[in-house]
Structure 1
């Protein structure tokens, strides 16, 4: 263990994203003594109620914001992590052809420097060694997810530069930036094939066919985190987001014994490293621990 406590920051677009992407990883590191901070860019105000068992949320955007703040607090408690709101407003997921314009004042329409400045301030205050976020596609084409990537990448590069965002605290340069890979095609195929071979229904068949038909490119996975012991914490965090997660729905459609046997890890893509690394990795702090031990 290093003399200085290791710190991990996970930057997400909405409340519930931290529970569906890399949740077991953050719970594992938190249990191991790492200081873990989840940063949530928006309040999730425009999220629909996706759990048919929940009912309706009254009070418009303010009402939904209040509910999702309570859910986020419960999810953070389940994972054993800290959490910080950046304070931007959910952009919603536009649908239709052509797509409708995004709402005025939403996160995806905030100028990049204005959206990045508060994240730079949090980075300089928290001083993470590692940051995780989404790849340039956002993982899927939600405007807030794409914006979350842009803001995270900009903040990672700028936070250590004293000439940039000079009014946002003392410079701090994080050492590694990772992209989440929560639903890789390799993972879906492995679980799908195991379920079909066992004569069980798979939730991934149509999804695999759709991705293959659209020729969605698979990004490189560099880092496999063995964190299956913390899948129960992940599941508890998912259930905490009761407006968004149906306990009888997609996220719980794969029997846990099948998941444990076929895919007991969470995956990441190392986007940038300021320390020497050897790929593939099994630790987000690989290279950082070695650097500290060499001191």
Structure 2
């Protein structure tokens, strides 16, 4: 720890409230508890999300259109559960709206037919990146985490978050670029969040062996698995077994999106720490540090 703050600083860029808890909740809780800097930038308030709480269905976009405010509060509660105090919306709350999505016949997400004029998918890339450049130059993180180029499963906001994060990371390090946004800062390591294919197959197999055919219905542990990354593409894992409780509390805080009897908690009940306590990453910028468990880095700051 320095007078200016933590010596090691992690920046995460996500599309909607709840994405962070699903993908990296254990990592965020672990690093925050260890005194490392954790900053979350959320690009939209998730206004187009499906509402799983019947008494709150009136908040939907086609009704009162107040889901964004609800999810803003859910994010507050989730960050409290994870122990993260620095979290922001890209450009400020309401700057960009959830773009919505629909499912393609091939099983991945695509943009919705009707998109709001302020949808994140329509955002000017340089304008959106400049919002993030300002954050990068303020926080000065050594490590950035965001999605892969497909947004992990095709959601347009995930893809746009990837584009904005990657472009902003380049611009932020350019000495001559918009000095009014802060002093230039080069991010040493960039990771894309990932889900281990072998871990997901093992978890699904355990669920099916237990007689549960409804959790992640239609997904075959021995067939094609969207959302996952082949293990030979993984670079790092963070073992956060001691923080699974915090991660599950954060997931529960996103109550309009995640239910206690839904697939995330079914996975937890069947597999516990093995599925939610270890989170995986692909290194796409920077040099891989010393390897540990499973031949992967065990710390995103390894080698710095």
TM-score (norm 1): 0.86
Residue in structure 1 matched with residue 219 of structure 2 by the alignment: 207
Task: Tell me how far 1:107 sits from its aligned partner.
Answer: 0.7
Give distance in 2, aligned partners of 1:56 and 1:21. Answer: 28
8 Å CA contact 1:177–1:270 kept in 2: the answer is: yes
C-alpha distance in 2 between matches for 1:221 and 1:240? 29
Counterpart in the other structure of 1:172: 185
Q: Distance in 2 between matches of 1:215 and 1:43?
A: 22
Indicate whether 1:185 and 2:197 are aligned. yes
Q: Which residue in the other structure is 2:81 paired with?
A: 78
Question: Where does structure 1 lack aligned partners over 5 or more consecutive residues?
Answer: 289-295
How far is 1:74 from its partner?
0.5
Maintained 8 Å contact 2:26/2:276 = no
CA distance in 1, matches of 2:96, 2:297: 34
1:90 aligns with 2:92: no
CA deviations over 1:134-172 (Å, ceiling 9, x no partner) = 000101111000000001111112211122233311111
Instruction: List 4+ stretches of structure 1 deviating above 6 A.
Output: 213-217
Question: CA 1:268/1:212 → structure 2, altered by over 3 Å: closer, same or farther?
Answer: same
Cα offsets for 1:79-116 (capped at 9, x unmatched): 11121111311111145789614322211111211111
Higher mean displacement: 3-12 or 55-64: 55-64
SS in 2 for 1:269: strand
Contact 2:144–2:187 (CA under 8 A) maintained in structure 1: yes
TM-score when normalising by structure 2: 0.84
Structure-to-structure mapping, 1:139-154, within 5 angstroms:
139-154=152-167
Alpha-carbon distance between aligned partners in 2 of 1:166 and 1:211, rounded to the nearest angstrom = 51
CA contact (8 A) 1:134 1:179 kept: yes
Q: Which residue of 1 aligns with 2:108?
A: none
Is the partner of 1:191 in helix, strand or coil? helix
SS of alignment partner, residue 149 of structure 1: helix
- The reply to whether residue 242 of structure 1 matches residue 255 of structure 2 is yes
| Contact 2:267 2:275 (8 Å CA) reproduced | no
Cα distance in 2 for residues equivalent to 1:257 and 1:266: 17
Shift of 1:73: 0.5
Q: Which moved more, 1:247-256 or 1:128-137?
A: 247-256
In the other structure, the counterpart of 2:242 is 229
- Write the distance in 2 (CA, Å) between the matches of 1:209 and 1:133: 26
Mapping of residues 42-121 of structure 1, within 5 Å? 42-52=44-54, 54-57=56-59, 63-81=66-84, 82-86=86-90, 87-94=95-102, 100-121=113-134
Distance in 2 between residues matched to 1:109 and 1:144, nearest whole Å:
10
Q: Is 1:286 aligned to 2:274, yes or no?
A: no
**Shift in CA distance, 2/205, structure 1 to aligned 2, threshold 3 Å:** farther
> Hey, what's the Cα distance between the residues in 1 that align with 2:151 and 2:225?
20
- Partner of residue 19, structure 1: 21
Instruction: Quote how far apart the aligned CAs of 1:265 are.
Output: 1.2
Aligned residues: 285
Are residue 6 (structure 1) and residue 8 (structure 2) matched?
Answer: yes
2:171 pairs with 1:137 = no
